[in-house]
Structure 1
Amino acid sequence: MARTVYFTAPYEVAVRETSVSDPDPDELVVEASVSAISPGTELLLYRGEVSPETAADETLESLGGSFSYPFPYGYATVGTVTGIGDDVDPEWRGETVLAFHPHASEFTVGVDAVCRVPDGISPEQAVFLPNVETAVTLVHDGEPALGERAVVVGQGVIGLLTTAILSTFPLEELVTVEIHDSRRELSTALGADRSVSPSTTDLADLFDPSTDSFTGAARDTAAEPGRADLTYELSGNPAALDDAIAATGYDGRVVVGSWYGTKPVTLSLDDRFHRSRIDLRASQVSTLAPERRGRWSVSRRLQTAWRRLRDIETERLVTHRLPVSEAPEAYDILDDDPASAVQVLLTY
């Protein structure tokens, strides 16, 4: 028997005993040591802000089905392979692996749904790999360039990891926007040049206008001093998308990485938006952008994420560790106290 986390109703989580099946010929049995709660996606599920008809993830067998209660979820569990199917290479036994699998103390999973954890990476660091892969996708989709000004709105786990990767680019300046003081401190520790509060800062005037490349442009519509070339909306707050557009200058890109669930988005797509020719881009890790599919594969992106993961101080992001038996409390903490809770881990 295993202990598995189930979402049973809005704001209700239960830990249930479930049976662990013998592995099929191409499967492994994994005994978990730690798993990471995704504060963005899993809080939407916890709050009941995702349509029950929405498919969970058709690319992963362990996340199949829909979000109709009750259901298990999670996609970042690290553990040890304790059993193997008849067709599996015996060398898998005893390996430490990352599994794209819901929170559970033990489970069977296909070989294709796990990754060996490279030497030198701890289990607590490895559970960040799926979110680092998301951050890699966001950076790819935003296409940051030399000397550009970039803004990241929202400094949750995905926002912080995206900031950490963007900080390695030769940008003119990297500014983050976050309502919580503690997360702004984390943001600068991970590489942001500045982190500001949206309640006290005019997002249309984040940068020094004296360095604006459009100063003196022939058309006033192109001269937008103080705005960004590239902005990411990663807060999960629909209202923040308007802020992201306001922060972005002529011909700039706004990359929308937030999943808002059932929350409606109201945008003010006024004359400035159209005249500024702002480019709104969707970004989602389940697919590769069409323009990169000729040279990039999911495997190549995953290996890139492993390499980036080594360079990020993920231990700074871990604020809580709770045994899986206390999973309901873990979700309460994330929901009630976002100022102090960033990455919550479940231990087994």
Structure 2
Amino acid sequence: MSAAAGTALAYWATAPGQGELRREPLPRPGPGEALVRACASGISRGTELLVRRGGVPGSQVDRMRAPFQEGTFPFPVKYGYLSVGVVEHGPQDWVGSRVFCLHPHQDRYVVPVGALTRVPDGVPSARAVLAGPTETALNALWDAPPCAGDRVAVVGGGLIGGALALLLRRFPLQRLQVVEADGDRRRRLADAGLSAVPPEQALPDCDLVFHASASEPGLALALSLAGDDADVVELSWFGSPAPQVPLGEDFHSRRLRLLASQVSRVGAARRHRRDPAARLGTALDLLSDPAFDLLLATERPFDAITTAFEDLEHDRDGGGCVVLSYPGADSRGPATPAPHP
């Protein structure tokens, strides 16, 4: 499906478990704006499935708005934030640049150039959609910086936990374990040189535990793995459900600390020295490591996005981030810009 002149094709969630592609007007870019043709976009499994189900709590409607979201929760809403494309029209120093943007799934869009971050030449477009989870992982490390010689566990080896583990493996730790119940995920993590174990083999007495499984058992396990006076960093977002947290056993007697980490604010350790743009740029630089490809799942054509969401709902995608490829673009690397109509 190639976009007609002056229009764009975008995905909208329309009802619980339902969505559709809609044709909509595409404005010409004004001063300081750029027209971007998408190469690839990634489906943020946890958050976007929650949005698709209508699970955004009423109290979080404003906080959950994506930067270029249209519509309102619960439905209809155009939602997403992992888009990579090429600037086709705009300021001359941007034309032809491959960029990352926090934009929903759409084949062409117009945004201020300040909303764009250049993708390094060494980062393929498909891998660049992982800038979102990698930025989240980086922010968690700024919220709770590990120390040399630490014993660290990451509970949950999905997109966020996997990205976090790939960053942590660069630190001089005494021990790093990724605790993951799914055997296929464990095998992929092990292929990257990580120690990935099932929950029953997780080692206790950790100095620092990151929880990213978005499950009650995962959070309970994370608390149980923390040593006395240790920190447990919560990266999961549960949406409307209220998880039960085991705080009535030895949580207080062992003086554990439960810390929330979320990208709406730069992590505490670098809050006064980095802004969100610098954090995102750092995340894209970190994606030069080919090991991050283990977090990518199947690649689907953009016009099959509704099927991609259905497969995600039923765990038929094989795990990882589903990448949508767009007509006329090569998601493996830089693309050549087309002339503006």
Structure 2-normalised TM-score? 0.88
Secondary structure of the structure 2 residue equivalent to 1:310: coil
Aligned to 1:41: 47
In 1, the alpha carbon distance for the partners of 2:18 and 2:66 equals 25
Aligned to 1:324: 302
In 2, the alpha carbon distance for the partners of 1:188 and 1:123 equals 24
Q: 1:150 to 1:75 in 2, by over 3 A?
A: same
Query: Is the CA contact (8 Å cut-off) linking 1:183 and 1:339 kept in structure 2?
Result: no
Read off the aligned partner of 1:256 and give its amino acid letter: E
Q: Give aligned pairs, total.
A: 320
How far did 1:291 drift?
Answer: 4.7
In 2, the alpha carbon distance for the partners of 1:338 and 1:146 equals 39
In 2, the alpha carbon distance for the partners of 1:340 and 1:92 equals 36
Aligned to 1:306: 284
Query: Is the CA contact (8 Å cut-off) linking 2:12 and 2:19 kept in structure 1?
Result: yes
Instruction: Give CA-to-partner distance per residue, 1:18-51, whole Å, 9 cap, x none.
Output: 1111223221111111101111211111222212
Query: Is the CA contact (8 Å cut-off) linking 1:160 and 1:190 kept in structure 2?
Result: no
In 1, the alpha carbon distance for the partners of 2:58 and 2:76 equals 10
Query: Is the CA contact (8 Å cut-off) linking 1:52 and 1:66 kept in structure 2?
Result: no
Query: Is the CA contact (8 Å cut-off) linking 1:59 and 1:286 kept in structure 2?
Result: no
What RMSD, in angstroms, separates the aligned Cα atoms of the two structures? 2.0
Q: 1:169 to 1:338 in 2, by over 3 A?
A: farther
Instruction: Give CA-to-partner distance per residue, 1:4-28, whole Å, 9 cap, x none.
Output: 0111111112111111112232211
How far did 1:184 drift?
Answer: 0.6
Read off the aligned partner of 1:286 and give its amino acid letter: S
In 1, the alpha carbon distance for the partners of 2:127 and 2:154 equals 23
Secondary structure of the structure 1 residue equivalent to 2:147: coil
Poorly superposed stretches of 4+, deviation over 3 Å: 55-61, 63-66
Alignment partner of 1:18 out of 21, 24, 38: 24
In 1, the alpha carbon distance for the partners of 2:157 and 2:109 equals 32
Q: Which runs of 5+ in 1 are unaligned?
A: 208-225
| Structure 1 segment 137-286 matched on structure 2, within 5 A | 137-193=139-195, 195-198=196-199, 201=200, 206-207=202-203, 226-286=204-264
Aligned to 2:337: none
Aligned to 2:94: 92
Query: Is the CA contact (8 Å cut-off) linking 1:333 and 1:341 kept in structure 2?
Result: no
In 1, the alpha carbon distance for the partners of 2:305 and 2:262 equals 27
- 2:312 matches 1:334: yes
Secondary structure of the structure 1 residue equivalent to 2:160: helix
Q: 1:57 to 1:33 in 2, by over 3 A?
A: farther
Read off the aligned partner of 1:197 and give its amino acid letter: P
Aligned to 1:55: 61
How far did 1:55 drift?
Answer: 3.3
In 1, the alpha carbon distance for the partners of 2:214 and 2:100 equals 26
In 2, the alpha carbon distance for the partners of 1:197 and 1:163 equals 15
Read off the aligned partner of 1:25 and give its amino acid letter: P
In 1, the alpha carbon distance for the partners of 2:316 and 2:219 equals 20
| Structure 1 segment 92-131 matched on structure 2, within 5 A | 92-131=94-133
In 1, the alpha carbon distance for the partners of 2:85 and 2:76 equals 25
Larger radius of gyration: 1
In 2, the alpha carbon distance for the partners of 1:339 and 1:35 equals 16
Query: Is the CA contact (8 Å cut-off) linking 1:53 and 1:68 kept in structure 2?
Result: no
Query: Is the CA contact (8 Å cut-off) linking 2:141 and 2:267 kept in structure 1?
Result: no
Q: 1:247 to 1:190 in 2, by over 3 A?
A: same
Q: 1:159 to 1:75 in 2, by over 3 A?
A: same
Aligned to 2:36: 30
In 2, the alpha carbon distance for the partners of 1:22 and 1:276 equals 60
In 1, the alpha carbon distance for the partners of 2:63 and 2:84 equals 19
In 1, the alpha carbon distance for the partners of 2:102 and 2:308 equals 20
Aligned to 1:223: none
In 1, the alpha carbon distance for the partners of 2:284 and 2:213 equals 24
Structure number with greater CO (CA < 8 Å, separation at least 6) is 2
Q: 1:172 to 1:77 in 2, by over 3 A?
A: same
Q: Which runs of 5+ in 2 are unaligned?
A: 1-6, 327-341
Instruction: Give CA-to-partner distance per residue, 1:229-278, whole Å, 9 cap, x none.
Output: 11111011134211211111101110000010001111121241101110
Structure 1-normalised TM-score? 0.86
